[in-house]
Amino acid sequence: MVSDSGTGICRNRNRITGTGTGHEISEKSRKFYPPVALLFVLCFLLSADADAERNRCNVIHLGSSLPRGASCTSWLSPYGLFAFGFYPRRDDFTIGIWAMAD
């Protein structure tokens, strides 16, 4: 342990502490932060990609079609209040417009 005179900082091989602060930063925790941060960034990117895929059905271009039984069976209005598309009814599908708001 080496002590800097006048600064109140004690240095050890594994940690640096200031006297009276109660904060310790170990080498082990320094190595832990980058992988955890990378994991959070990866999760964020995957969720953003899933949102983009889910909203792709809501973009209606000239000549777009909405086939019965497809993974995207309805189109939402720009504010998400109404939907237009197919909904199951008995053994078949019916086309309609319905309110999505609570």
The SS3 call for residue 28 is helix
pLDDT for 97: 86
Alpha-carbon span 9 to 26, nearest angstrom: 15
Q: What is the pLDDT along the chain (102 residues), one digit of tens a residue?
A: 544 555 555 455 555 555 555 555 666 656 656 676 676 666 555 554 444 344 446 666 778 777 666 667 778 877 778 888 877 778 887 788 888 765
Write out 70-95 in H/E/C secondary structure.
CCCCEEECCCCCEEEEEEEECCEEEE
CB 70 within 8 A of CB 86: no
CB 82 within 8 A of CB 72: no
pLDDT for 80: 77
